Structure 1
Amino acid sequence: MSISVSLRHRLDRFTLDATFDAPDGVTALFGPSGAGKTTLVQAVAGLLRPEQGRIALGNHLLEDSATGHWLPPHRRRIGYVFQDGRLFPHMSVARNLSYGRRMNRLPPNPEEEARILSMLGIAPLLDRVPATLSGGEKQRVAIGRALLASPRLLLLDEPLAALDDARKEEILPFLERLRDESALPILFVSHSLGEVARLATTMVLLREGRVLRCGPTAELLADPDAVPSLGPREAGALVEARVVAHHADGLAELATSAGTLLLPGITSAPGTVLRIRIPAHEVILALTPPEQISALNILPATIRSLRFGDGPGVMVQLQSGSDLLLARITRRSAEGLGLEPGTACHAILKSVAVSRQDIGAG
């Protein structure tokens, strides 16, 4: 179910003026703190009534200021998950989970409840109270409560922001399952590019209340022109790879459209498709196949474009098989190698250059 948003609303710091259309899947609202991400999702939820706006979820019109149409929050059928989960401390997990269904006067659906409990891994928690749960467990229960209210849309407002790295790694696989196993459209707010790369199918780039770019996540992450807004240090392209085998030395062999990658820390079964974010600053370029080097991953590539910044850096976009890569190198290196669009080269990547946080389910 597609999402169509067009809003204009004056705030103290800036005017939120955002328009975008997003297809099915997970749509990430990405930008720095104060970009207007939370304000936008509050407007979608009906918690904020914008001065001007039109919001539609598929054929369901939520509001249109031109005609005066406006659905209050309780009639929008939207699940909202906040940073801190906001579970009711006096209720058990089971009572928290059923709250949305009971408030919406929905009949019990044991089959759907069992599916959601299994998907989120929270069935063993039903008799516990929120004070005894970890941060990751609380967020999974909060997501389950939202899903059991049978929403048309799920809003995740930085659900991982309050968690440490270990808890984030605990909950990210469940969010990937939610993306892959549910037909529910999701708006996902984040200022972490790694989270967006792992989860989002569509990306909306926000800054100071305005939409700078909107499109498929893989395309935006591999676009050199988007790098200044994303941050050069965070730049990195997405590659889809299939697990081929696990070797005795701890490295997994992955097949990409251009060749083989060898990476550590992957436990997925052979045949599993993964999304891998390759940081631009970890890619080295060579005009000829290198020999006798420690780096194990060498992919053939062709330069598509070069973006020269004001400083000494250059962002190079590469075509490698059917995938796009980015390499962040110096202007001196680009000029010394004579790089230009169409130049054939080799992209070199150390096996340890890709962190576990940059590997997600495809």
Structure 2
Amino acid sequence: MAKRPTIHDVAAVAGVSRGTVSRVLNDDRYVSPAANAAVRRAIAEIGYIVNRNARSLVTQRTGSVVMVLSEPHEKLFEDPNYSVTIRTAVRRLADRDISLVMMVAGDDGDRDRVIRYVRGGHADGVFLLSTHAGDRMVDALVDIAIPAVALGAVIGRESVIPHAAADDREGARQMTRHLIEAGRKKIATITGPMDTPGGIQRLEGFADVLGRKASRKLIEHGDWTRLSGESGMARLLERTPDLDAVFVASDLMAAGALATLRAAGRRVPDDVAVGGFDDSSVALSTHPPLTTIRQPLADVAEETVRLLLALIDGAEHVESVILPTRLIVRESA
């Protein structure tokens, strides 16, 4: 059986000292670019594999980050936004040889498992996804003092959990203005959950533009699922049968709203214009294709990982990041 390559073999092939190889493996910033490149080439050439257990004893790091999705398990597979976020985070972390551990915290038992996992020292940082206001898990993570960031603000904890997000409020303004400019007079909305920043801020943007016309009877609340878009649209039609437009706070919920309108015999956009939010893969699969707000989700995920890596590397403070949105016009509005 061939002998497994060692750090000494890497040093010999790279023409550097064992200490230099060790510094490269531990991401030491004081290694010259030339030495770093030589070591990386040697590692690839001889097939050296880092012994994570030995490395963690030296660095006091696990080489992993835990991503926590605070939604029921089935949402992980229903909503395409999550796959974009996970894929981007995995790729970005791999650049630093850091693994991503996915945990779903849909109920109290799940949240307790996350807290035990993190408290046990199994992760170097936490990436929070779709966190709801008042989640006790967040307070526990703050007490543990592990580096933590969120994709989207954690309501009430914005000053202690840095985040990256799209400009939800302005995106909702863009869509609502578009519906008005299209000549629509009675515009309704289906919001996201009102304990999430997207739910709150997209409703605020809608109300910013409509003012007093944003009456309660024109507002329904969803939970980001297709089913909630279907049921929310049904309730809106029952209360306000003469509505002629609806801004739905996610593409997935908008797909549900379109199904309800179709079942009710309402033509889109002739009778009712429909606008979504995300510009996810769902927006191109609906009939008709969905006019929506593009949030740069991959860029937001990249920024969230960047913030987390900075904290893991010892930064005492990082600034939250808000990225702009863009109206994408298709056939639904």
| Range into which the TM-score falls when normalised by the shorter chain | under 0.3
Q: TM-score normalised to the size of structure 2?
A: 0.24
TM-score (norm 1): 0.22
